[in-house]
Amino acid sequence: MIVMTGATGTLNGATVDHLLKHVPPTRIGVSVRDPERAKHLADRGVRVRQGSYDEPEALRHSFADAEQVLLVSSSDVTADVVRQHRTAIDAAVDAGAHRIVYTSAHGTGVDTPYPPLAIHAATEQHLEASGVAWTALRNGFYGDPDQLLGPWRATGVIAKPADGPFSWVDRRDAAEAAAAILTSTAPLDGAIDLTLSAPVTLADFARAASELTGRHVERVVIEDETWVADEMAHGTPEAVARFTLSMFQATRSGHFAGSDPTLARLLGREPRSIGDQLADRLAS
Ligand SMILES: NC(=O)c1ccc[n+]([C@@H]2O[C@H](COP(=O)([O-])OP(=O)(O)OC[C@H]3O[C@@H](n4cnc5c(N)ncnc54)[C@H](OP(=O)(O)O)[C@@H]3O)[C@@H](O)[C@H]2O)c1
């Protein structure tokens, strides 16, 4: 049986949908914080059990009979997330899982220019020490392109701090790849980079947006402190603005410049490009 957490979230909600194309529902389980929100899965025959990363006993119950457990990285910003991940890994080991798959992030490392990556590094260390086989899905950045680019559709301008190359993947591709790994007969061990075949910059986004709209979209570089001040003037808390700034700074240090063909190989096609993703966003 394959059991996953986060199935009421965006990424693993899509992963469970992909799994259902290849695996009978009776061989799939989900561990969710609120089973009411997984009713659509229970209705399809998926085993739904309650469990949060703060409830080791509930997690052990959720993970019972699992050969593989897929753990989503916690989105609980108020919690000790590394402790939550350790709790979930320990519960999967206690339940007898043979492999633990974890949604990590591209560029993960202990000493990196982007602080959140240390959480994934600590989690991967715990996986390594767990004694069971593990796979860390080091996904490229993903999310709503408008959150990355700002109000470019209204202004015709992508006005952000200086950036460097990074991978911006489509979350649907990350989910499809996760399902491919879970159903593979040749498991991938350790940390796997799931990126675009070539990294992109915000200038590439501006080019893609210009091509799609037929209107010139300009990439304008804003000096770091001016950008932070602008964000704060628009109501963004300083800590949030500086957190986002650290991401741009990390990209321009070249930290995310690497790319890997594994995502394309798992999908059997090129990952959706930033142009594809912007087109989808414009159509929605
Ligand atoms: N690579 C990137 O650029 C990127 C971008 C955004 C997020 N992420 C990370 O990737 C994860 C998945 O992304 P997403 O887009 O699917 O985010 P999402 O839609 O916010 O889903 C997060 C999932 O984590 C679950 N969760 C949060 N805290 C938990 C806890 N204490 N115990 C058990 N489950 C818990 C949530 O459960 P509920 O459904 O009950 O709320 C939800 O299902 C995020 O949690 C975040 O760590 C990565």
Residue identifier of the C-alpha nearest atom 41 of ligand 1? 9
Q: How many angstroms separate the CA atoms of 98 and 62, rounded?
A: 15
> Is the minimum distance from the CB of 105 to ligand 1 under 6 angstroms?
yes
pLDDT for the residue numbered 83:
97
Residue 113 has pLDDT above 90, yes or no: no
60-106 per-position pLDDT tens digit: 999 999 999 999 999 988 899 999 999 999 999 999 999 999 999 99
Residue 173 has pLDDT above 90, yes or no: yes
Cβ contact 60:95 at 8 Å: yes
Res. 30 pLDDT band, cuts 50 70 90: very high
pLDDT for the residue numbered 176:
98
User: Could you give all domains of the chain from N- to C-terminal order, each with its CATH number?
Assistant: 2-142+169-195+258-267 (3.40.50.720)
pLDDT for the residue numbered 112:
87
CA 14 to each of CA 41, 107, 219, 235: distance values in angstroms, whole numbers, following the listed order: 12, 23, 32, 33
| Cα 280 to averaged position of ligand 1 atoms, centre (Å) | 22
For the stretch 158-176, what's the b/e string if a residue is b when 16 or more beta carbons lie within 10 angstroms of its beta carbon? bbbbebbbbbbbbbbbbbb
pLDDT for the residue numbered 44:
97
> Is the minimum distance from the CB of 195 to ligand 1 under 6 angstroms?
no
**pTM for the full model?**
0.96
pLDDT for the residue numbered 246:
95
Q: What is the arithmetic mean of pLDDT over 135-144?
A: 97
36-53 per-position pLDDT tens digit: 999 999 999 999 999 999
Q: How many angstroms separate the CA atoms of 245 and 238, rounded?
A: 10
pLDDT for the residue numbered 224:
98
Residue 187 has pLDDT above 90, yes or no: no
Q: What is the mean pLDDT of the chain?
A: 96
Residue 240 has pLDDT above 90, yes or no: yes
Q: What is the arithmetic mean of pLDDT over 9-29?
A: 98
The single residue listed with the structure tokens 């949604």 is: 103
Residue 111 has pLDDT above 90, yes or no: no
Residue 254 has pLDDT above 90, yes or no: yes
Which of the listed residues 3, 11, 114 should we mutate to test ligand 1's pocket, taking the one with most ligand atoms within 8 A of CB? 11
For the stretch 204-227, what's the b/e string if a residue is b when 16 or more beta carbons lie within 10 angstroms of its beta carbon? bbbbbbeeeeeeebebeebeeeeb
pLDDT for the residue numbered 1:
97
Share of the chain above pLDDT 90, in %: 95
Phi–psi pair at 133, nearest 5 degrees: -60, 145
Residue identifier of the C-alpha nearest atom 12 of ligand 1? 11
> Is the minimum distance from the CB of 168 to ligand 1 under 6 angstroms?
no
